[in-house]
Amino acid sequence: LNGGAPPRPVNGRSTRGKKATQEQGQALDGTDGLKSASLGLFHALGRFLYCKRLRPGSTTTETQTVNGSAKRRKVTAGPEPQQLPHELLVPKASRPPLYYVPEDVLEKSQTDHRIFLDWIFTNAPRFYGDVEDLATFAAAFADCNAWGGGFR
């Protein structure tokens, strides 16, 4: 159509190298369902803030310890993780486990933990519907910050 010329960019984006990038992005390390490449800061923040879980009974998960860190993996195929409604998250003792292991997400973000926590604290209020829950979060976060040596 265009006389053998290279494809033109669509909306200012180049189409060259797109296939290679997609193939690289599909490589999984197989241990925790995360891409073997590092996560961007905002991608990792989303995994923390949205707290996606599997619905109870949708699939079974298995926790195994590898090199001192706990890894969760799906045993049977099932639906994608999702934000669960409030009634499935209360009481805390009966809520399903998180789909992603928070320590692994933080490690793969390759971001200093203090900077990451500052971003969490800045963005977390948008995810709370009740001011009492937000106050509990802020108090727990402040305690952790003080005990963890982050007090400035």
pLDDT at 1 over 70: no
85 vs 89: CA distance, rounded Å: 7
> Up-side HSE of residue 45: CA atoms within 13 Å toward CB?
17
Mean pLDDT score, 51-72: 68
Helix locations, the chain, DSSP H: 18-25, 41-50, 86-89, 102-109, 113-123, 131-147
- Select from 148, 147, 149, 145 the least CA-distant residue to 118: 145
Report residue 90's pLDDT band, with 50, 70 and 90 as the boundaries: confident
Cis peptide bond N-terminal to 56, omega within 30: no
pTM over 0.85: no
